[in-house]
Amino acid sequence: MDDMYREVILDHYKNPRNFGTLDPADISYEDDNPLCGDRIRIDLRLDENQRVKEVAFSGHGCAISQASASMLTEEILGKTLDEIRHIGKEQVLELLGIELGPVRLKCALLSLKVLKAGAYGLKEED
Ligand code: FES
């Protein structure tokens, strides 16, 4: 694992950007990583052009899941929902900058799964 990336990940884990909730939010979605049960919630507020003007995430999980959520929230500010729907997992992995095995991949992509579900307008099941 590259030390520089490891440091960036730890920094996001210890000092998560945009951590919290937005109430009210235009879009909220929450889901878990079925392998471990860790959950992430993402709230979005959109401007009049349907671009993300505020974003917050909450929940808990390992360093990789929290760091990727933190990085992703920074990445999507100003993006449209359509642009969010087109974010690929490669982009998230690029932000993290480390090689991940299949279990850690689920951790890394949890926030993207939540974000995309929200952008596609899915509603949480009660
Ligand atoms: Fe649960 Fe990583 S161990 S999200």
Residues whose beta carbon lies within 6 Å of some atom of ligand 1:
33, 36, 38, 61-62, 64-65, 107, 110
Q: Is CATH 3.40.50.720 the classification given to domain 2-119?
A: no
Nearest CA to ligand 1 atom 3: 62
Instruction: State the pLDDT at residue 90.
Output: 96
Provide DSSP, the chain: --HHHHHHHHHHHHS-TTBS--SS-SEEEEEE-TTT--EEEEEEEE-TTSBEEEEEEEE---HHHHHHHHHHHHHHTT-BHHHHHT--HHHHHHHHTS---HHHHHHHHHHHHHHHHHHTT-----
How do the domains of the chain map onto residue ranges?
A: 2-119
**Probe target for ligand 1 pocket from 41, 96, 107, with the most ligand atoms within 8 Å of CB:** 107
* pTM score above 0.75: yes
Q: pLDDT band at 122, cuts 50/70/90?
A: confident
pLDDT tens track for 72-113: 999 999 999 999 999 999 999 999 999 999 999 999 999 999
Q: pLDDT band at 123, cuts 50/70/90?
A: confident
